Structure formats: structure tokens, C-alpha cells
């Protein structure tokens, strides 16, 4: 469910015609819908209304300050994986005591900064990290609440590049080695192990891998408690998949049933780190058709967005729906086209042999489900400007990240000291 719908033949974000935004800010641009963000947060949180649950939005999915603020206003915490994300979460209004710091390679400086901020919990992923964290916290005279992320060796049955819970992945500590890690943590100064964390991957479309991982986690909590550890929280990560092509997928309520069945009776606070589920369908990327090119073998629709703006098709062969901003007539014929960007590589392809209604030069297209892992993964490849971001709320819209200027972009580099600046 999202709030990007045709009204009188024009694709709207809530009450705003996307074409109006295009006319004002140019293309390409990302547009996010507040009502969709709010709806997704509410659906997720209501599924756990009968539990002590904290939803820590995974900032990596969309780090725009206005998006973070929208979710923070609803009571969301944050899951962050870098000092930058931590700073964004705080600036977006998430209280430090609702922030979990995850990630396999936190630097010592990042750990020190997170401790100074007083984050709720740091999730530790290795013994060397545990030792570093202990030393840094003890040096500050602080005792930090930590979780230990386990690797349950579960196949998430998602794209291999976004699977994280198999033994061969870099993430977490093997479940079998966790009791030893907890014992080590309990013996170290500066840390208090209070939580077990797990995250097995992203865009999961099947609940069984979750059930397997959470069952392993629950058994471990029992074992750890028997050894005298006080486990107050379990952090169940994110990963719930969303429909990219209107397929029917497990709903948050189905996911909640699996969660409650596996860990509901542990008496622990439940922490979740959803990213995509909250923001994915709340965003679109709007782009204008530059040319329609009749190739030797195919017709190419060349748009002004490129792989640097939305990496997912190039990186994960991801499928994103594409809709014209002007609704085509009901009986419009469809024909296969490749929708491509201007970047100089073949992977700069948003859709291959997609059956679309006739598209002409100058038309505006929306690439859907682009709210998660879209703008955050953008780059300036081919020296293209980063895409602006717009947030809509009802009939209002606001630029929440402006398009930079070429001057901004050129200022980022400088000549070497020995090079002649007068040229």
C-alpha cells in the first residue's frame, strides 16, 4: 500500500501531481510520501502492540533527515552502522537511548563517539571488537550495554549479495561460540552484555528463515540465562521483504506471529531494525525521457536518471516497476523496451525488455519502490550531480535535499600543491 496513485490521469504523490514537482525542481528527483512512511510504521508497530517492542529504523535504507524525523516523530528509534548515520539519527530527532549501533567494522573513533552520545546498545560482532569496546568504555569510566550479534547459519533465501546469516558471511559470531563470547564479555570491564542480536539478510520473502534464526536465538537465550547472564533484550534485525511487482508477500502481522512464536515468551524487550519495509514503497524516482532510440535489436528509452542515482538494478538485478506520470489510455498497446540511463556502461539499465505503453521523448516516468537503498546508494559517477529529494505531505511538498550545483561539485577536488592553478 502506498500513496502514489493516478488522480485524473496524473500520477500523484498523495495530493501533489509529480509533474508539478518536476516542473519546479527539474529531473531526476526522488519523492517520498509522508503518509506512506507513517502507514508502514504504524502497520509494523501495531503488529507488536501487545509486546514491549522498540522499532529502530535502519537508517541505511534512507538517511534523509526529513525521513528520519518523520519516523522519529512516530516514536521510532534508529539502527545505525556508522558515525555519520548516528549523527543523522540524532539530528533527525531520535533520542540516543533509542539507538542501536550495529556493524561489523566500527572504528575505535566511532565506538568512542557512540559511547559519548550514550546510545542504548552497541551490537558486537567479533571478539576483537568486544575487547576494543571494553577498553574504550573502561577508559571513559563507562559501562556500555551491549548485544552480541550471532550468526545462526541460516540461508535467508534472498539475493546472495544481501544475505548475512550464513556461516560463510562476515557477520556475527557463530551461535555455538556465543556462550564463550558472553562469558568473555561478562568478565571484561566497561561492558554489560544484555542482548542477543541477529540479522540474516534483506528482502526476505519467506518467513521460514526468520523462524529458524529466531528459534536458534531463543534457545541461546535460555542457555545464556542458565549461565547467569541477564538477557533483557533481543534484537531481531530487519529484513522483511516488500512487493516490488505487486506480488503477495508475508505481512508484518504474519512476521509478528513468527516472532512471537519463537521469542514471545522470553520476557525480553523486542528490538527490530526494519529499513526497506518502512521506506521502500514510500519513494519514487522521477525521470524524464531524453531520447527514444531504435537500436538494431531493441528499442531503448533513454532517461535522465542513471545507475548512479539508483544502483539496485545494476547491482542486484533488482526489478522496479516503471509508470508514466501521465496515465496511458486503458487500451494502449504495450511493447518491450529497455529503459536505460545515460551512464557509460551496459549495467546502466533500469528495465530490460519491459512491456510498456508507448513512450515519447520528453515524457516523465516514475521508477517505483525507490524509497529504500535509492538515494543513499547514489554516487556522482560520470560526474553527475546527486539527485534531489522531495518530501510530500498531503498537498504540501518540500525539498529535503537540494540538487547541488556544478560549482559545489567542482569545489570538492583541488589541484595538487605543485600544479599550476593559473590555468
Binding of residue 79 to ligand LLP (CB under 6 A):
yes
Binding of residue 238 to ligand LLP (CB under 6 A):
yes
Residue with Cβ nearer ligand LLP (89 or 372):
372
117 catalytic? Reply is no
Residues numbered 124-163 forming contacts with ligand LLP, rule: CB under 6 A: 162
The one among 373, 389, 390, 401 contacting ligand LLP by CB under 6 A: 373
Residue with Cβ nearer ligand LLP (275 or 324):
275
The one among 275, 283, 313, 371 contacting ligand LLP by CB under 6 A: 275
Binding of residue 48 to ligand LLP (CB under 6 A):
no
Instruction: Tell the smallest beta-carbon distance from residue 330 to ligand LLP (Å).
Output: 33
Query: Which range in 7-15, 56-64, 180-188, 212-220 contacts ligand LLP by CB under 6 A?
Result: 56-64
Residue of 56, 117, 268, 344 marked active site: 344
Q: Which letter, b or e, does each residue of 59-84 get, where b requires 16 or more Cβ atoms within 10 Å of its Cβ?
A: bbbbbbbbbbbbbbeeebbbbbbbbe
Binding of residue 199 to ligand LLP (CB under 6 A):
yes
Residue with Cβ nearer ligand LLP (14 or 273):
273
Instruction: Tell the smallest beta-carbon distance from residue 209 to ligand LLP (Å).
Output: 12
Q: Would you please indicate which residues are annotated as catalytic (active-site) residues?
A: 344
Residues near ligand LLP (CB under 6 A) are 58, 60-61, 79, 102, 162, 199, 202-203, 237-239, 273-277, 312, 316, 372-373
Amino acid at each position: 500500500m502506498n500513496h502514489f496513485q493516478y488522480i485524473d490521469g496524473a500520477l500523484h504523490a498523495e495530493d501533489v501531481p509529480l509533474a508539478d514537482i518536476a516542473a519546479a525542481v527539474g529531473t531526476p528527483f526522488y519523492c517520498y510520501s509522508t503518509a506512506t512512511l507513517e502507514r508502514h510504521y504504524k502497520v509494523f508497530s501495531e503488529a507488536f502492540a501487545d509486546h514491549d517492542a522498540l522499532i529502530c529504523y535502519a537508517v541505511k535504507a534512507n538517511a534523509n533527515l526529513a525521513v528520519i524525523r518523520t519516523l522519529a516523530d512516530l516514536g521510532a528509534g534508529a539502527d545505525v552502522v556508522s558515525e555519520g548515520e548516528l549523527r543523522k539519527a540524532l539530528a533527525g530527532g531520535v533520542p540516543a537511548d533509542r539507538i542501536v549501533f550495529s556493524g561489523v567494522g566500527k572504528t575505535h573513533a566511532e565506538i568512542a563517539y557512540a559511547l559519548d552520545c550514550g546510545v542504548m546498545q552497541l551490537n558486537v560482532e567479533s571478539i576483537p571488537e568486544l575487547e576494543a569496546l571494553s577498553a574504550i568504555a573502561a577508559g571513559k569510566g563507562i559501562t556500555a550495554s551491549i548485544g552480541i550479534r550471532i550468526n545462526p547459519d541460516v540461508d535467508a533465501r534472498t539475493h546472495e549479495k544481501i544475505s548475512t546469516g550464513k556461516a560463510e558471511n562476515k557477520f556475527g559470531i557463530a551461535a555455538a561460540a556465543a556462550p564463550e563470547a558472553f562469558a568473555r564479555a561478562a568478565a571484561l570491564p566497561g561492558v554489560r552484555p544484555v542482548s542477543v542480536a541477529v540479522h540474516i539478510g534483506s528482502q526476505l520473502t519467506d518467513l521460514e528463515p526468520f523462524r529458524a534464526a529466531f528459534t536458534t536465538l531463543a534457545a541461546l537465550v535460555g542457555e545464556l540465562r542458565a549461565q547467569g547472564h541477564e538477557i533483557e533484550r533481543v534484537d531481531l534485525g530487519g529484513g522483511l521483504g516488500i512487493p516490488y511487482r505487486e506480488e503477495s508477500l508475508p505481512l508484518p502481522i504474519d512476521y509478528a506471529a513468527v516472532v512471537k512464536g519463537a521469542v514471545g515468551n522470553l520476557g525480553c524487550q523486542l528490538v527490530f531494525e526494519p529499513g526497506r519495509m518502512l521506506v521502500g514503497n514510500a519513494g519514487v524516482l522521477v525521470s524524464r525521457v531524453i531520447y527514444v532510440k531504435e537500436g538494431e535489436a531493441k528499442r531503448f528509452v533513454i532517461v535522465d536518471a542513471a545507475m548512479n542515482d539508483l544502483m539496485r538494478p545494476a547491482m542486484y538485478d533488482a526489478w522496479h516497476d516503471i509508470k508514466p506520470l501521465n496515465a496511458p489510455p486503458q487500451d494502449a498497446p504495450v511493447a518491450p523496451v529497455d529503459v536505460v540511463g545515460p551512464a557509460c556502461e551496459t549495467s546502466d539499465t533500469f528495465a530490460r525488455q519491459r512491456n510498456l505503453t508507448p513512450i515519447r521523448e520528453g515524457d516523465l516516468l516514475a521508477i517505483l519502490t525507490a524509497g529504500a537503498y535509492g538515494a543513499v546508494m547514489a554516487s556522482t559517477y560520470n560526474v553527475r550531480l546527486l539527485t534531489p529529494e522531495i518530501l510530500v505531505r498531503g498537498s504540501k511538498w518540500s525539498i529535503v535535499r537540494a540538487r547541488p550545483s556544478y560549482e559545489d561539485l567542482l569545489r570538492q577536488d583541488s589541484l595538487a600543491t605543485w600544479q599550476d592553478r593559473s590555468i
